[in-house]
Structure 1
């Protein structure tokens, strides 16, 4: 079975943040530099959202662009962040949340991504058991 863009986004995001978190805890404190190093070692093409070097931002930007003509003015699904894979699981998720800000606390951010992924997989399992198609 071929993975969906959303599934790849989750997988790649977790790989990135596990590595960044590990290096950060080893006292390599420049998160943007760590992300750059990771991307140099793992040559991914991120067409959109690449300025942030973020798989979630790339996914969100792509979905936002695909839905640009379908959004009601200044209401639901207005910003790119509304399409973030993390926010699709937990509407309160935001990468710059003070409790787990990706730049200030990449270790906590990594844990938050892991928590959301567990929640996402549970939701998918429940959805399939209720006859809903896999996202």
Structure 2
């Protein structure tokens, strides 16, 4: 066949079969690529869903911990302030310093009770305390 002649039907059919086979291979490869990408996307999507669920769970746990901490702070944080401690200067001083009041030993408490009883009996106020 010369460059000016039209190809014969046989040549054209052979060319079309080759082109069809080549396009078929391209189509199969693109289907395989699409399937691979679809599987990868599904896996990535599932991973994202799992991560979002984990993030949500951690967020809920964090919020629960914050609420619990806030409740504990309100309940116990400044437990020595308030009406029950009025009139106790050592507690007020500790409240200013942010420390809990020192627990007084039993012997010291009993001594204070005894001195108070003696003071009342003698009518002398706090004169027996040193």
Q: TM-score, with normalisation over the residues of structure 1?
A: 0.20
- Higher RCO structure (Cα 8 Å, ≥6 apart): 1
Higher helix residue share? 2
Q: TM-score, with normalisation over the residues of structure 2?
A: 0.21
Larger radius of gyration: 2
